[in-house]
Structure 1
């Protein structure tokens, strides 16, 4: 299910337009294919509609129509390629993680076929099930809306290379969006806790530094949250 959402595009342009170089970068990318924004930038624009905050980064999958043009464009920018084949750009202190939709982990390692509808289904946590086609101003958010309607964090797609990181994110999102955990998500927490209770607390605490570059949750907070699961 999809719907036309022009206001989201205007909000993205507002954020990106804070620096002309970042907006120029996005304008250039729109010429190589359809830009599918997913992750926190779109999630928070839709959740905090009255006053969304500046995104920490922008995740973009591209449905390419001209891959050669993309290769020409990125020569003008500094970037790194991560171990999953995505491109990381830092432009005017803004971070962009850019992917070829055909090469995202889920489409290469599960039965899902590459499409913008399926991109919204390829996430581990249901709160991440939201994708915005920037070129066409079309939003795919059925899984995201179900999570909000049920006030519950659930698992959308179990296959994921970063389950432990997503458990950390679930703890952060539980507080940020005032959600509860589904039975399915609780069972995953319990599985990890049964194997390594103390190690999991330490691991989740340390993961914050590498992923968020700061600690949202203290060890005590993590321990308190886990003991009620």
Structure 2
């Protein structure tokens, strides 16, 4: 019998201290100093792959990429004048410290909040798990409070072992399509029904962008158009797609 989501939520919450230790043990001392300094200026949250991989037992020795959300709109180039940085999309920062790349996003500047997906004037952080594209991203970790902010879709991900959509509103559907196949291969999980419909429905109109988005994102073409077209045909024949 499948576990109840409430039980999974409890198990995730109980690993807060353990995850905090895991995070700090896998970053260089210079990154730790930066994170702790930033943590003293604003609230910081980890999101994306580090948390997902931790809970499905894909462990890393050292993190090469860290994604953070900060609560306050701090001008990091003024606060940390010696850091190497670039401005990333939506007003965030990409910072390189030793062998680690840190992407930092300001919560009120995220794409979902600024494009009509959420209109709340309060409690931004607790609503963010509702705005992710993939269900495995529907979770955050507060470094200040040492606790998880857990979306129900992340719990379903752990229970069902399926990659699924939380919110299909996204500025880069071509990247969502490519990333779906990338994460299916990496995680060895199957697609959920909503994701299958999304990939099939958006494939044709984004076909010409599939190569360029891979070069931009991966610095290489991981999946040829012929391969992706063949995979789309397989999805069209799948029981999930044909289910009414």
Paired residues of 1:106 and 1:112 also in contact (CA < 8 A): no
How big is each residue's C-alpha offset from its partner over 1:74-93, in whole Å with a ceiling of 9 and x where there is no partner?
Answer: 32312111241011101112
Q: Which moved more, 1:27-36 or 1:105-114?
A: 105-114
Paired residues of 1:79 and 1:90 also in contact (CA < 8 A): yes
Q: 1:59 aligns with which of 64, 67, 92?
A: 67
CA RMSD after TM alignment: 2.5
Paired residues of 1:112 and 1:122 also in contact (CA < 8 A): no
Deviation at 1:215, TM superposition (A): 4.9
Map 1:37-116 to 2 at 5 A.
37-48=46-57, 51-52=59-60, 54-64=62-72, 67=74, 72-109=78-115, 110-113=117-120, 115-116=124-125
Map 1:10-21 to 2 at 5 A.
10-16=21-27, 19-21=28-30
| Residue 152 (structure 1) aligned with residue 158 (structure 2) | no
Paired residues of 2:77 and 2:83 also in contact (CA < 8 A): no
Cross-structure match for 2:5: none
Cross-structure match for 2:3: none
| Residue 26 (structure 1) aligned with residue 35 (structure 2) | yes
DSSP 3-state at the match of 1:107: helix
DSSP 3-state at the match of 1:131: strand
TM-score relative to the length of structure 1: 0.84
- C-alpha change, 1:169 and 1:56, in structure 2 (3 Å) is farther
Q: 1:189 aligns with which of 189, 199, 216?
A: 199
Deviation at 1:204, TM superposition (A): 3.2
- C-alpha change, 1:105 and 1:80, in structure 2 (3 Å) is same
| Residue 133 (structure 1) aligned with residue 142 (structure 2) | yes
Cross-structure match for 1:179: 189
Aligned length: 220
DSSP 3-state at the match of 1:135: coil
Paired residues of 2:48 and 2:139 also in contact (CA < 8 A): yes
Q: Which ranges of structure 1 fall in alignment gaps of 5 or more residues?
A: none
CA distance in 2: counterparts of 1:150 and 1:58, whole angstroms:
26
Paired residues of 1:36 and 1:134 also in contact (CA < 8 A): yes
